[in-house]
Structure formats: structure tokens, C-alpha cells
Amino acid sequence: MEFYESTSTDPYYNLALEDYFFTHMDSMKDYFLLWQNDKAVIVGKYQNTLEEVDQTFVDERGIRVARRLSGGGAVYHDLGNLNYTFIVEEDRAEAFRFEVFTKPLLAALKELGVAAETSGRNDITIDGKKISGSSQYFRNGRLLHHGCILLDCDRDTLTKALQVKEGKIRSKSIKSVRSRVTSINEHLERPITMARFKEVLRKQVFAAAPHPVVLSQGDLSEIQILRDSRYATWEWNYGASPRCDIRREGYYPFGQISAELAMEKGRIQCLKLSGDFFGREELSSLEDLFRGRRLIPEDLSPLTGVDLGAYVSGLDWDTLIQLLCG
């Protein structure tokens, strides 16, 4: 098994990196990758991003949102987390058994004096609280197993970034199951550095010094292209979401207003406004203007030349855009 550690903390780049290793590197070899992301929410392949993320919170704090190759639930990453990836031939992976890949992590924690155990199919816990989750992706006889380990945990940001108001979005997508979390350093007498934890984990994965992978300039260029063309795009991170219905509601001096949005591939298919407000013009003419637009301020701001007060007396565009985008 060969080893590569990413020096980037860009979540879009690192997801492109593991995709490149999985798809383009020598399929006769196995790989172990370590990587860290700066503040980011990573959603599962089959999830509805709008259901998993508090968009206002992540926008205000510069938290990036990305979609990964594998299924499973949404997770929060920051520099207190360590991400790992195993890429192996399927016939060496013992039929998707998660414990094959979590065994080195459990051994590393034992070496540090932490009593951890597996829970359910793909979690590792300490005293019943989650410190690591993992997921898998299979294609063309290759298996990618990756996971996130909480060494230090900003639990407040994690909770708020993944907190969406109940009952406001309806869909058939796969929802995340929220778990109580903790971090490794909370269970050590003396907290350790990330560098030390990486060293202990590598020792459990490799019996001897690992053979490092050296990427060519061509490899690095292809990874950057994959980052820019897929993992950093709205189409992948939001547009790949399944169909859903969203309800927004607000109370203002001019009255109460409700917005019902039917979304498909991240775009507004239908908007219906209702409330106890007053207006002169038919709402349907206003609602039709939103069809096909992404639910982001950049896509809605070109509409601000329309006289909104003619439809909803007292309503301005800043208020409506904030209401719709959440």
C-alpha cells in the first residue's frame, strides 16, 4: 500500500484528489491518503444539500459546502479533524466490511490510551459519543473507504452548520442522523497535536515506512481541473440534489407572507406566495419570474428592477430574497 498526504486544506481540491487517485492512479496498487479540510460541510452523494445545511450560517462564516462521491450523511470538517481514505481492490476489501478499515484507527486510539469501540455499521465512539464516521464507494472493481476523525471538535459550529429547521423542507432524499459527538483530546490527560496523531495512525496502517506517492505536474493539473469542473461547482454541490419542497414564512409590518417552493436539481420549478398582505397586481405574474432560477441571491437579484410593491405592498427585494434563501 502506498501513501499520500495532501498539503491542501481546500475541501474541493481534496475531494478531487481522492477521486483522481480512485479513478486514474495505478489500479494494481492500494493507497492510503491523509487530508484535512478547512471549514466545510460535506454532504453525501444522495442527499439534498438544502436539507442538510443552515445556508445562512455557513455563508456568514465562510464555511464551504461540498458533495462527496460516497453515500451516507452530512459531516462538518475543520482543521481539528483528520480525514483518511483507503483505495483498494474490491476482492481485498472483504466485501465492504467497515471494520477492516477501522481496525487501524482503533489500534491507534488504544496506543494513546483511549478506549474506543465500533458502533453500528460505520461509527467509532468513546463512552457512547461519536468521534469518527466513515462511508464507502464502489466502482469498476475498486473500493474507496473514507472517514473523518475528530481530534479536536468545534461542536458549536458543527451543530449550527448542520442545523436546519424541522418541517421546512420535504423530500424523499436520504437524511442525516445526528449523533452526539466528542473529540479524542477530550479523553486524553494531555492533548496531542495533529502531527502526533497522524504519526500514530500511520504506524498502525503501515508495518514499515510507507512508500510515498509523488504526483507529477500533469497529475496535479488534472486534479485542479477536476476540482474546478466538478467539486467546486454549484451544479455538483447543490444542483445534484433530489427534488424537494420548501416552505418559508415571515412576519413583517405589512403582514404575514408564506412562500412555497418546488425545487428540482437545485432550481425553482414553482413558487407560490400567500399571506394577509395587500397588493394591486396578480401574484402569478411575479411568481413566474422565479421559474428556473437557482435559490441563491445572485440568481434572484436581477429581478430587483421589478416593482415588488405592486404585488405585495410594503415588501422590498432584500426582504424577499432573504426570506426565500433562508
Task: Name residue 262's beta-bridge partners.
Answer: 245, 270
Q: Distance between CA atoms of 326 and 318, rounded to whole angstroms?
A: 12
What pLDDT score was predicted for residue 103? Answer: 87
Cα end-to-end span (Å), the chain: 46
Domain extent listing, the chain: 2-237, 244-325
Instruction: Residue 277: count other Cβ atoms within 10 Å of its Cβ.
Output: 17
What pLDDT score was predicted for residue 92? Answer: 60
What pLDDT score was predicted for residue 201? Answer: 95
CB-based contacts of 112-115 (< 8 A; 24+ apart in sequence): 112/184, 112/188, 112/192, 112/197, 112/200, 113/188, 113/189, 114/184, 114/187, 114/188
- 106 and 118 in contact (C-beta within 8 Å)? yes
Nearest Cα neighbor of 135 from 85, 78, 186, 202 is 85
What pLDDT score was predicted for residue 177? Answer: 47
Class of 2-237 in CATH = alpha beta
Q: Quick check: do 2-237 and 244-325 share a fold?
A: no
What pLDDT score was predicted for residue 174? Answer: 45
Q: What are phi and psi of 66, to 5 degrees?
A: -140, 155
Question: Which residues are within 8 A (CB) of 28 and not within 5 positions of it... i.e. 6 or more apart?
Answer: none
What pLDDT score was predicted for residue 154? Answer: 87
Class of 244-325 in CATH = alpha beta
Question: Which residues are within 8 A (CB) of 79 and not within 5 positions of it... i.e. 6 or more apart?
Answer: 9, 36, 37, 38, 194
Pairing, β 211-212 against β 2-5: parallel
What pLDDT score was predicted for residue 153? Answer: 83
- 114 and 184 in contact (C-beta within 8 Å)? yes
Each residue's pLDDT, cut to its tens digit, for the chain (326 residues) gives: 999 999 999 999 999 999 999 999 999 999 999 999 999 999 999 888 888 888 889 999 999 999 999 988 899 999 999 999 999 987 765 545 677 788 899 999 999 999 998 887 678 999 999 999 999 898 888 999 999 999 998 888 998 998 765 544 455 454 554 568 899 999 999 999 999 999 999 999 997 788 999 999 999 999 999 999 999 999 999 998 888 888 889 999 998 999 999 999 889 999 999 998 988 899 999 999 999 999 999 999 999 999 999 999 999 999 999 999 87
- 169 and 51 in contact (C-beta within 8 Å)? yes
Give me the count of residues in the chain. 326
- 248 and 323 in contact (C-beta within 8 Å)? yes
DSSP state of 25: S
What pLDDT score was predicted for residue 167? Answer: 45
Instruction: Residue 219: count other Cβ atoms within 10 Å of its Cβ.
Output: 16
